[in-house]
A and B are shown apart, each in its own frame.
Chain A
Amino acid sequence: MFYSKLDIGIPKGSNILLSGPPMSGVSTMVKYISLDALKRKEAVIYISTKETGERVQKWFSERTEIDGLGIVDCISKSLRLKTNIEDNKSIKFVSSSVDLTGISVKYSNLLERFWNVEEYRDIRIVIDSLSTLLMYSNVQTVFRFLHILTGRIKKIEGYGLFILDGNPEDPQVAPVKQLIDVLAIIEKNKIIFVGFGINREYEFRIEGDELIFGGGR
């Protein structure tokens, strides 16, 4: 299930692009969606290009058990925040957001752990954010990377949640949209889902640790 308090019938194996203007709270929304999944004992692989793995881990660990959380940290190594940064069971590091090959290897390592060793069958992969990847690499390169990743998500029947800070109508993003099944646009306190025959608009707010959706239209 995409989100326990919002059953709008997004099938498993879907790739969802969530976009909104900067500061619109897209990242926060995706974190709460992921938190909901962790609470239901599902696995989340969080590819972070903006926050260090440690911070992402802290955010989740303050709110729930994080056995099912794996993080690909694309920032700590290039910022040189520490020396001798080494992968651990839950956080894997890549040298920079340019290194899409490295990102693919690390999420694949985490998938192997969750799927094969720990036998999770509901896994979601988050990219926070696609905008950073598009800043470092051209759109064809990001497209090829996403082509592999979205294919993998279909194979494991998971969910892909990709964050875009900005306008999804931007022609620069157009090729990437071919790989997306559902588009979620966030504006102020509203979210609009488009795709799979779904066209629904909800109001939302955050209460405690939960995302609350108001009446849909």
Chain B
Amino acid sequence: MISSGIPRLDTFLGGGIPKGKTLMYLIQPEVEGEIFGMQTLYTNLEKGVKSIFIITKSDPQSVKEQFEEYGWDINRYKDELIFVDAYSGLIGSKSNARYCIEDPNDINSYDSIMEKLIKDSETLITFSSLSSIIDLCGEEAIDHIKKWNDMISSHNCIGVYNFTDWPYPKRLKERLRDMMNAIVRVWGIGERVILGQYYGVLKVDWLDNPKGTLMFKISKPGGIKAFIPKILVTGPFNAGKSTFIRALSTKSVSVDRMGTTVALDKGHIEYGDITADIFGTPGQQRFDPILKYIANEAMGVFLIVDSTKPESFSRAKSMLEKTKVKGLPLIVVANKQDMKNALDIEEIRKKMQLPESIEIVPANALNKEGVFEAFEKLIKKIEGRE
């Protein structure tokens, strides 16, 4: 089995892509999806997997630069990676790749190279764009793709295809879907324009009941990251919410007046394979009527409390109610743990009457202590892993 290299996808696939199988990324036009195949390829190059990359829309040099945009240097993997250049022949320029498709408009000219290359077992064969091969060669290409899939299966290789879901004839798409072992759909949401992007598994023929969807964003550098559009940070006045957001964020904005937040804090977090947008509420009571609007559509909540101020704990609990976030994943952050008179976690639990199921994380947001532990714990809860 190899890793897909896409955040959470291996879990949805039951561990990864088994040998002898094919997987197609079915990508909605206008959505940045061809990076899926690239990320699968790069992840496996890093692990020393022998790989073949069939490129159809630009020459090998441009493709290398495309990888560099994500911070991936594929020059390091000269021994592991073979390019098949199915572009240069199209524009009549000379190719410096070892394998070059002479006439990319003729599907037969792919066959001999495929036969030559799909031999060694455990090779990963990635197509940068299967749709462009179909565009060039017509529907006839489908029979050949079937043949390549059979070769991949009998030689215990792995085939990964990017496929842009243009309005092709229905029959063509059905045949293509039937011949793939797994299909991962990549699509955009938004009524007028595309505002967010998801991926989800449509078919996994080695699992009984495949499921799983995830919202994602693309970072340059970095590649595909799981995306959590809204995490809420709430808590009483002066508990350290803004400091907590700043400590977590790569970028943050705070609308401050005299050192305290009177409107809204907003931060953007990039951590591991996750990106998230985080929003803070003001703590003063006069803002209570708007709390539930700020909290609307949040996917998880941090409740920040000042460990030195037990008198503010009831206010903290009432803020949770006012934000109407009951039932959402919640982490209580016990801030200012560095202070002498700070209560410890168990004392706070007792005073706040919190059940054991709610986790309290000790933190000192000023020094960034405990903030990422709290973040990891919340993500686990949001993703249902805990």
Q: Is the CB of A138 within 8 A of B135?
A: yes
Interface presence of B257 (CB below 8 A) = no
Q: Is the CB of B57 within 8 A of A99?
A: yes
Q: Known A102-B57, A145-B166; judge A95-B32 contact (CB<8 A).
A: no
Q: Is the CB of B193 within 8 A of A105?
A: no
Q: Is the CB of A148 within 8 A of B129?
A: no
Q: Known A112-B193, A115-B193, A156-B192; judge A105-B32 contact (CB<8 A).
A: yes
* Closest chain B residue to A98, Cβ basis: B57
Q: Is the CB of B194 within 8 A of A77?
A: no
Q: Which of B148-166 contact A (CB under 8 A)?
A: 164, 166
Chain A residues with Cβ below 8 Å from B192 are 115, 155-156
Interface string of B111-150 (1 = CB under 8 A from A): 0000000000000000001011001100000000000000
Chain B residues with Cβ below 8 Å from A90 are none
Q: Known A101-B129, A145-B166, A148-B166; judge A96-B57 contact (CB<8 A).
A: yes
Would you give the shortest CB distance from A190 to chain B, in whole angstroms? 36
| A141–B132 CA distance with the chains assembled, in angstroms | 9
Chain B residues with Cβ below 8 Å from A85 are 65
Interface size on A, residues (CB 8 A): 32
Q: Known A105-B31, A156-B192; judge A144-B167 contact (CB<8 A).
A: yes
Which one of A96, A115, A147 lies within 8 Å of B58 (CB-CB)? A96
Interface presence of B14 (CB below 8 A) = no
Chain B residues with Cβ below 8 Å from A86 are 69
Q: How large is the interface on B (under 10, 10 to 19, 20 to 34, 35 or more residues)?
A: 20 to 34
Which one of B131, B136, B191, B193 lies within 8 Å of A101 (CB-CB)? B131
Interface presence of B209 (CB below 8 A) = no
Interface presence of A28 (CB below 8 A) = no
Q: Is the CB of A116 within 8 A of B30?
A: no
Q: Is the CB of B58 within 8 A of A77?
A: yes
Interface presence of A57 (CB below 8 A) = no
Chain A residues with Cβ below 8 Å from B87 are 98
| A108–B65 CA distance with the chains assembled, in angstroms | 22
Interface presence of A104 (CB below 8 A) = yes
Chain A residues with Cβ below 8 Å from B58 are 77-78, 95-96, 98-99
Q: Is the CB of A78 within 8 A of B62?
A: yes
| A182–B164 CA distance with the chains assembled, in angstroms | 29
Q: Is the CB of A148 within 8 A of B167?
A: yes
* Closest chain B residue to A156, Cβ basis: B192
Chain B residues with Cβ below 8 Å from A96 are 57-58, 62, 91
| A182–B29 CA distance with the chains assembled, in angstroms | 25
Chain A residues with Cβ below 8 Å from B129 are 101
* Closest chain A residue to B164, Cβ basis: A101
Q: Known A102-B57, A104-B29, A148-B29; judge A95-B62 contact (CB<8 A).
A: yes
* Closest chain A residue to B188, Cβ basis: A108
* Closest chain B residue to A111, Cβ basis: B193
Interface string of A136-148 (1 = CB under 8 A from B): 1110110011011
Q: Is the CB of A137 within 8 A of B193?
A: no
Would you give the shortest CB distance from A87 to chain B, in whole angstroms? 8
Interface presence of B34 (CB below 8 A) = yes
Chain B residues with Cβ below 8 Å from A107 are 30
Would you give the shortest CB distance from A101 to chain B, in whole angstroms? 5
Interface presence of B90 (CB below 8 A) = yes
Most buried by A among B90, B131, B191, B193: B193
Would you give the shortest CB distance from B325 to chain A, in whole angstroms? 26
| A145–B166 CA distance with the chains assembled, in angstroms | 7
Would you give the shortest CB distance from B192 to chain A, in whole angstroms? 5
Which one of B57, B66, B194 lies within 8 Å of A112 (CB-CB)? B194
Give the top 10 A-B pairs by smallest Cβ distance, nearest first: A95-B58, A108-B30, A144-B166, A141-B135, A115-B193, A99-B57, A111-B193, A104-B30, A101-B164, A148-B29
B interface residues (Cβ-Cβ under 8 A, vs A): 27, 29-32, 34, 57-58, 62, 65-66, 69, 87, 90-91, 129, 131-132, 135-136, 164, 166-168, 188, 190-195
Supply 9 further A-B pairs (C-beta < 8 A) apart from A101-B27, A136-B90, A144-B167.
A95-B57, A96-B58, A96-B62, A98-B57, A101-B57, A107-B30, A109-B32, A148-B29, A156-B193
